[in-house]
Amino acid sequence: MPKASPGQFVREVRRETAKVTWPSRKETGISTAMVFIMVFLAALFFFFVDWMMASGVKVIFGLGG
C-alpha cells in the first residue's frame, strides 16, 4: 500500500469524518442516562445475588455467625 503524504492523509480523514452521523445533544443525554440506569440496575442485581449466595454459604457451613 503506497504511503500518502501528510496533506493527503488529512484530507482523507476530513472526508471520512464528514460521512459520520453524529448524535444530537438530546440523543447523547438519553444514551448517557440509560447507561447510568443500567449500571445501577446491574449493581443492585449483583449485590443481591452476592448477598443471597453469602447467606446460603453461612447457612450451609455455619460460618460468619
Whether 28 is covered by a domain: the verdict is no
Whether 59 is covered by a domain: the verdict is yes
Task: Answer for the pair 12, 20: CB distance below 8 angstroms, yes or no.
Answer: no
Whether 51 is covered by a domain: the verdict is yes
**Which carries the bigger pLDDT value, residue 4 or residue 58?**
58
Whether 62 is covered by a domain: the verdict is yes
Number of structural domains in the chain: 1
Enclosing domain of residue 61:
41-65
DSSP state of 1: -
Task: Answer for the pair 64, 58: CB distance below 8 angstroms, yes or no.
Answer: yes
DSSP letters, 13-51, are HHHHHHH--PPPHHHHHHHHHHHHHHHHHHHHHHHHHHH
Structure confidence by residue, pLDDT tens digits, 42-64: 999 999 999 999 999 888 888 66
Q: Look up residue 26 and give its three cell numbers.
A: 438530546
The pLDDT of residue 37 is above 60:
yes
Residue 64's pLDDT is 61
Whether 64 is covered by a domain: the verdict is yes
Whether 47 is covered by a domain: the verdict is yes
- The answer to pTM > 0.75 is no
The pLDDT of residue 65 is above 60:
no
